[in-house]
Structure 1
């Protein structure tokens, strides 16, 4: 989007306007649509627009496409730095289907079974599976009562997912009539928006292991199971029955496949380009001012954090409904502290996805959202893609993506002082759980919320945009169409329909379809 030199730059002086006019009249290429950001939302939107016959240019500030998902290769170890748990494969398949392409010609997904290994502090192991009989056997080993209620919970989870698909995930909510109607009201009542996820889970389960295992789904949208609405119980159905998938060659291959398709459709993708400002004239988008000159366009799609886009790319007079004071009222989502470890060992405890839970789960979220500090005893997630696919690490070695939930950036936690110390602590906690030797890794790379903010301009380093810790921030997110500037659209985790890789991909598809239909009129 932009660099530090362009932060907060307004439309400003007559000299600025004269410069813009000169650039525009000196042969700047007019584009039907400019997309800022080449993450999942931006690329999926670009493909849909280009398939409809529109000229599209995507501008990405990083040197490589992918947004928060980047590919790291070092010493024979291959890592995906960013999203690693792929669910809802149809969200990605629809990108290719609508473009008349066969997804398997661009990227190949494979289903994981078991889905995820859950390891609890007392040594209990539950491997999430599509097999309900096996799931109940595993849960019954520590709680027969919870096992007896598993089927009922999964049935409710499936019903919540169906309701979300019908009324929230598959449509834009651009107008008041889209949000405030009898059908939507009935749907909201069915998903009980005021019931917290943890409270819903307690209707079915009593044991802390089961509550943590399914409560963790709130973190998929950067939130707390003790604050977020019960709708996210739908992830039980999504993971166990729709499935969790790996990507051949690593998750980044999804980005590469979408990039290739976009280019085949005529999309122009420029990386290493900083957008300093979205230029607005008489309330309408006129184009973007970049470090490579002015680019004219009557339609701009911002694939980035809505709050950052408004704060950094729009002059205050052009964002009256998204003022600094209003931005400050939004609670950012969870961020993440990542360690990439390439180690010459294999670990029998690990599957493709493994989660190590602490003895108590709730204090982690008090630390993150109340105290805004790193958890004293965190949940630790490990993606080991080499488990499923040879060649992701040297022979006899493992490529481990290690993630700990982190608070969004604030004065309460200083990463400059704490990064090394906390990183060592995570490795020590893993060693105590049987994952040893990490301090002697061939590759050891740490990535903090500060780095996330630096690279992607995510508001306060959040991963998922705003949290879903309230009814309002879950169901009434900032809209996909700017209320202040005509011709400005938003895709990504902060806007509708929400955070998470497949949902952001759907966001791009929905905006692309809507914008294409409007421009064809």
Structure 2
């Protein structure tokens, strides 16, 4: 029985663990934190329950696949609720635009807000559907492990068809004319930690997921997804070791042969899977001499994605104007991204996202709303120093919301601020970035770090900083892809 060692217990590591254990491999997973699930972390403040990590869930079938590949039923582990009208977009001129997977509802709104957009909406849906299915066919299910994986004629042809040279902003402008409507769709760039004025139009496929397939919420909190994977991993014999930090990946004759724990213990294995931020963990866990293709100087030149400034607030009552997902947009969105990526500063007029899961699931917060409030933040500078005073920026966010008529300050019962520094320390995120590399540069968008080390045999990578990318479904898929890749490798060895 081959032994797999997994470093990190996020969704990618857990999905790989379940996949491999189900195939008969011995799997040992080591996680430095107390909880498993990575950024999909439960936070309890008094009577209020929050998910820190991904609040917007799409592609439920990816999470279900992790479970159902074992013969188990996903509905026995979690219940996903579809949110038909899922996101309320608010603008400073008083405009309100609700996202929905009911296309007629969207067209009805557009007829008043953007008549030309209403006429173009069916063709818009057709185009984002095309982009999604091309990505699904040629990118999602591949575990890119060598340059040869990038050179197939079919893949090259597909890459020319997904609008790699057009920006997201330009793409949305070809269908809509109202600046507020364009801005609401441009926000999809932040799902990959990037700027809509630089990221390729390929990522308009994210709009397909929300506007066609729909947005979901997991009853009891999205953290139930991670809890389901943990439960299933234990059932199939995975050794799950929390509060156990890996200090070094051991390299023997250009092969990953085991790990050294912070305790000093050595654990050997046949394959090592690293489910950690590649830009931070790879240089920390593997001596530079063993990774000539990934030198420290190369990492220093890469552009990290945006981070987040988060306030968790337990409110004394419920706000009727809030949906499950809410976005309060800046009146100068382009300047916000200039601040984030070029000036490396916090916006003085930030766009603010609020998740209010109590709107759908009152049991999570029976005494009032549980508001997850997020403003985009720049990644940390190389010296790691936070570029803003947290209390001052928190108050700027509250004042901004007040300008929209949402007065939170007098009604706060519980409060916790989470900065990029916390994200960097808790989740091992390179410079506090949420998604590893940004996708502002074309090469970084399409040629994300491969799923296997170029220099070290048997060392694989999963998670948001590698292929196929950030976001909970893609991270989970990376674990599935790598798990199946290792299974196929062993099957091919045994057939020789």
Q: Does 1:308 align with 2:319?
A: no
- CA deviation string 1:296-330 (max 9, x = no partner): 11211000111112210011111110001111222
Kept in 2, the 8 Å contact 1:334–1:368? The answer is yes
Shift of 1:285: 1.0
- Partner in structure 1 of residue 268 of structure 2: 296
Q: Structure 2 residue aligned with 1:347, among 298, 319, 340?
A: 319
Q: Structure 1 residue aligned with 2:33, among 40, 57, 62?
A: 62
Measure the CA separation in 2 of the matches of 1:47 and 1:439: 46
Measure the CA separation in 2 of the matches of 1:409 and 1:272: 26
Q: Does 1:129 align with 2:105?
A: no
Q: Does 1:399 align with 2:356?
A: no
Structure 2 unaligned regions, length at least 5 = none
- CA deviation string 1:87-117 (max 9, x = no partner): 0111111111212111111111110010211
Measure the CA separation in 1 of the matches of 2:145 and 2:267: 27
Shift of 1:414: 4.7
- Partner in structure 1 of residue 421 of structure 2: 450
- Partner in structure 2 of residue 432 of structure 1: 403
Q: Does 1:494 align with 2:428?
A: no
**Secondary structure of residue in 2 paired with 1:320:** coil
Q: How is 1:17-56 mapped onto 2 (pairs within 5 angstroms)? A: 32-56=3-27
- Partner in structure 2 of residue 408 of structure 1: 379
**Secondary structure of residue in 1 paired with 2:468:** coil
Q: Does 1:464 align with 2:473?
A: no
- Partner in structure 2 of residue 267 of structure 1: 238
- Partner in structure 2 of residue 419 of structure 1: 390
- Partner in structure 2 of residue 185 of structure 1: 156
**Secondary structure of residue in 1 paired with 2:443:** helix
- Partner in structure 2 of residue 328 of structure 1: 300
- Partner in structure 2 of residue 509 of structure 1: 480
- Partner in structure 1 of residue 357 of structure 2: 385
Measure the CA separation in 2 of the matches of 1:31 and 1:421: 53
Bigger mean CA offset, 278-287 vs 432-441? 432-441
Q: What RMSD, in angstroms, separates the aligned Cα atoms of the two structures?
A: 1.5
- Partner in structure 2 of residue 17 of structure 1: none
Shift of 1:291: 2.1
Shift of 1:68: 1.3
Measure the CA separation in 2 of the matches of 1:415 and 1:307: 19
- Partner in structure 1 of residue 71 of structure 2: 100
Measure the CA separation in 2 of the matches of 1:327 and 1:414: 19
Q: Structure 2 residue aligned with 1:141, among 82, 99, 112?
A: 112
**Secondary structure of residue in 1 paired with 2:380:** coil
- Partner in structure 2 of residue 5 of structure 1: none
User: Could you state the TM-score of these two structures normalised by the residue count of structure 1?
Assistant: 0.92
User: Could you state the TM-score of these two structures normalised by the residue count of structure 2?
Assistant: 0.96
Measure the CA separation in 1 of the matches of 2:114 and 2:378: 32
Stretches (4+) displaced over 6 A: none
Shift of 1:211: 0.9
- Partner in structure 2 of residue 485 of structure 1: 456
Q: Does 1:225 align with 2:225?
A: no
**Secondary structure of residue in 2 paired with 1:401:** strand
Measure the CA separation in 1 of the matches of 2:13 and 2:56: 20
Q: Structure 2 residue aligned with 1:373, among 345, 353, 356?
A: 345
- CA deviation string 1:198-257 (max 9, x = no partner): 111111122211111111111111111000010111112110111100111001111101
Q: Structure 1 residue aligned with 2:210, among 225, 239, 246?
A: 239
Shift of 1:434: 2.0
**Secondary structure of residue in 2 paired with 1:322:** coil
- CA deviation string 1:312-362 (max 9, x = no partner): 001111111000111122211111111000010211211111111111211
**Secondary structure of residue in 2 paired with 1:266:** coil
Structure 1 unaligned regions, length at least 5 = 1-29
**Secondary structure of residue in 1 paired with 2:86:** coil
Q: How is 1:199-218 mapped onto 2 (pairs within 5 angstroms)? A: 199-218=170-189
Kept in 2, the 8 Å contact 1:284–1:298? The answer is no
Shift of 1:418: 1.1
- Partner in structure 1 of residue 125 of structure 2: 154
Measure the CA separation in 1 of the matches of 2:196 and 2:408: 33
Kept in 1, the 8 Å contact 2:315–2:413? The answer is yes
Q: How is 1:272-291 mapped onto 2 (pairs within 5 angstroms)? A: 272-291=243-262
- Partner in structure 2 of residue 258 of structure 1: 229
Measure the CA separation in 2 of the matches of 1:101 and 1:329: 45
Shift of 1:437: 2.9
Kept in 1, the 8 Å contact 2:88–2:327? The answer is yes
User: CA, structure 1 residues 407+416, in 2 after alignment: closer, same or farther (shift >3 Å)?
Assistant: closer
**Secondary structure of residue in 1 paired with 2:311:** strand
Measure the CA separation in 2 of the matches of 1:409 and 1:71: 24
